[in-house]
Amino acid sequence: MISLAGRDILHSWGKFVFTGVGLGLLIGVTLTMAGVYRGMVDDGKALLDNSGADLWVVQKDTLGPYAESSSLYDDVYRGILGMPGVARAANVTYLTMQVRHGETDVRSMVVGVVPGGPGEPGQPGYLIAGRQITRGHYEAVADVATKFQLGERIQIRRNIYTVVGLTRRMVSSSGDPMVFIALKDAQAAQFLKDNDAIVHQRRRTSANPTYNRPGVPGLLNSVIASQSINTSVNAVLVQILPGFTPAEVAEPIRRWKRLQVYTRAQMEDLLIRKLIATSAKQIGMFLVILAIVSAAIVAFIIYTLTLGKIREIAVLKLIGTKNRTIAGMIMQQAVGLGMIGFVVGKIAATTWAPFFPKYVLLEPVDAAWGFFALMVICVLASVLAIRAALKVDPAEAIGG
């Protein structure tokens, strides 16, 4: 038996192709939305991977350092280094801000790390150009997405930094590229006040008799000095020794240091379930709406195409065509339209995904699910047209 649907599609291919392209662009948007979500999850995982940590030690009762702010003294890491199973521990700060680059600002996550070689917790894992930060001040390693070049000078707060290294895929959970600077610089940047504010604070402190006591000449200077420096970090990143599990290293730190400790699995759960949960729901809503719109479009198109063939369907029924053959023809056309749409949509999404400002990760498994969902939508959408076709009275072919 010949394929009636296939012949009809070949006969009016222009109509099907153009309709399929329109549908395909919609499917392309749907696949891209899924890719945006996957990109967000992947950015979160990249953030955890790139930190090189097995444990994140943060302020007690916080979800820091990515989902909530967290503040620890910068000497806490010394105590952690002495805990069983800890191989390395390093302070880290995170601050999302605008980094000045020539005449433009680049939104970045500035990461304060202890200068050292690769493998240290917090350090960029690998470089694609240049070197790691080796000096204590005013050097930076940037992700290529910042578009910074080696040797260029960038401004963070009031200080100028030289880009000495470039890395790749180092992004925050929201996809902002990272700029690594020395920890001391980052601590200063986090709390750096403008000159007027500093003068105002010094004046207030001097006016306070508690700090400016007659006969205690060094007290005021000590208080002012303590107000101008920042001894806080956001987290301590810990690498564990081989043979230890993250849980057994985390528990003593949690108990004896009275700090919050997250393992990699817990941190991933925090990022995905809490940090990007709302965005995921938002994207999920879009996906549902796009699916409904796609179904409505396919249903409308197939219904219209079927109504245009009522007389032919009446003749087919009159000459003895089975209902299931006619239903199959309409369903195959809907599925054919869906296939054209999927191919166009996949090509479109793959083509435009690299141009998105944030990472869009098109997973084959999403494409497979998208294809399956589209086929289901097409089959369901054809039901209306099939119903109309099956209602056609074969007597209509005879007229009268």
Partner 1 sequence: MHWQGIKIEGLRKRYGEGDTAVDALKGVDMRVAPGEVVGLVGPSGSGKTTLLKCLGAVIEPTAGRMSLGEDVIYDQGWKISDLRELRRDKIGFVFQAPYLIPFLDVTDNVALLPMLAGVPNEEARKRAVELLEALDVAHRAKAMPSQLSGGEQQRVSIARALVNRPPVILADEPTAPLDSERALAVIRILNDMAHRFETAVIVVTHDEKIIPTFKRIYHIRDGVTYEEAGEGRGFEPALDKFAVK
Chain residues binding partner 1 by CB under 8 A are: 1-2, 4, 7-8, 10-12, 311-312, 315-322, 325, 393-395, 397-400
Question: With respect to partner 1, which residue has the nearer C-beta, 3 or 208?
Answer: 3
Give φ, ψ of 120 to 5 degrees. Answer: -65, 140
**What is the closest distance, in whole angstroms, from the C-beta atom of residue 344 to partner 1 in the complex?**
23
Start-to-end C-alpha separation, the chain: 32
Question: With respect to partner 1, which residue has the nearer C-beta, 11 or 147?
Answer: 11
**What is the closest distance, in whole angstroms, from the C-beta atom of residue 399 to partner 1 in the complex?**
7
Question: With respect to partner 1, which residue has the nearer C-beta, 151 or 320?
Answer: 320
3-state secondary structure the chain: CCCHHHHHHHHCHHHHHHHHHHHHHHHHHHHHHHHHHHHHHHHHHHHHHHHCCCEEEECCCCCCCCCCCCCEECCHHHHHHCCCCEEEEEEEEEEEEEEEECCEEEEEEEEEECCCCCCCCCCCCCCCEECCCCCCCCEEEEEHHHCCCCCCEEEECCEEEEEEEEECCCECCCCCEEEEEEHHHHHHHHHCCCHHHHHHHHHHHHCCCCCCCCCCHHHHHHHHHHHHCCCEECEEEEEECCCCCHHHHHHHHHHHCCCEEEEHHHHHHHHHHHHCHHHHHHHHHHHHHHHHHHHHHHHHHHHHHHHCCHHHHHHHHHCCCCHHHHHHHHHHHHHHHHHHHHHHHHHHHHHHHHHCCCCCCCCHHHHHHHHHHHHHHHHHHHHHHHHHHHHCCHHHHCCC
Question: With respect to partner 1, which residue has the nearer C-beta, 29 or 331?
Answer: 331
Contact 358, 276 (CB under 8 A): no
**What is the closest distance, in whole angstroms, from the C-beta atom of residue 12 to partner 1 in the complex?**
7
**What is the closest distance, in whole angstroms, from the C-beta atom of residue 37 to partner 1 in the complex?**
41
Question: With respect to partner 1, which residue has the nearer C-beta, 2 or 365?
Answer: 2
Question: With respect to partner 1, which residue has the nearer C-beta, 12 or 205?
Answer: 12
**What is the closest distance, in whole angstroms, from the C-beta atom of residue 386 to partner 1 in the complex?**
17
**What is the closest distance, in whole angstroms, from the C-beta atom of residue 18 to partner 1 in the complex?**
17
**What is the closest distance, in whole angstroms, from the C-beta atom of residue 400 to partner 1 in the complex?**
3
CA-only gyration radius of the chain, Å: 31
Residue type, 54: D
CA atoms within 13 A on the CB side of 191: 16
Question: With respect to partner 1, which residue has the nearer C-beta, 294 or 306?
Answer: 306
**What is the closest distance, in whole angstroms, from the C-beta atom of residue 322 to partner 1 in the complex?**
7
**What is the closest distance, in whole angstroms, from the C-beta atom of residue 168 to partner 1 in the complex?**
53
Cis before residue 364, ω within 30 degrees of 0? no
Question: With respect to partner 1, which residue has the nearer C-beta, 76 or 305?
Answer: 305
* β-bridge mates for residue 58, sequence order: 260
Question: With respect to partner 1, which residue has the nearer C-beta, 259 or 392?
Answer: 392
Question: With respect to partner 1, which residue has the nearer C-beta, 1 or 207?
Answer: 1
* β-bridge mates for residue 161, sequence order: 154
**What is the closest distance, in whole angstroms, from the C-beta atom of residue 16 to partner 1 in the complex?**
11
